Amino acid sequence: MPHGISCALTGLWHDANGDWNTAHRVIQAGNSEEDAWVHAYLHRKEGDIDNAHYWYRRCNRQPAIESLENEWTTIAMALLEKDTDARST
């Protein structure tokens, strides 16, 4: 696992590597809007739509309607862009 990345990116990394349980455990420790976004995605992937909607509300986003793969990519790109911007300032 890459070191020095956000809780949200760590959760996505574990999910991409087939470890939903660790991804969920990691993301539960976070409290940012980005963490809530990943949390929503994870529950959507799990099929727990009511819980996913709760987390979408927590991150001030509409529930995703795109494929899970596209949502994962959208989240990852947004988080990587934010991480890159933070490192360059």
Residue 2 maps to a domain = no
How many structural domains does the chain have?
1
Helices (H), the chain: 7-16, 20-28, 33-46, 49-58, 68-88
pLDDT in tens, 46-75: 999 999 999 999 999 999 999 999 999 999
Residue 1 maps to a domain = no
Residue 40 maps to a domain = yes
pLDDT in tens, 21-48: 999 999 999 999 999 999 999 999 999 9
DSSP character string of 18-32: T-HHHHHHHHHT--S
Range of the domain at 57: 7-88
Residue 81 maps to a domain = yes
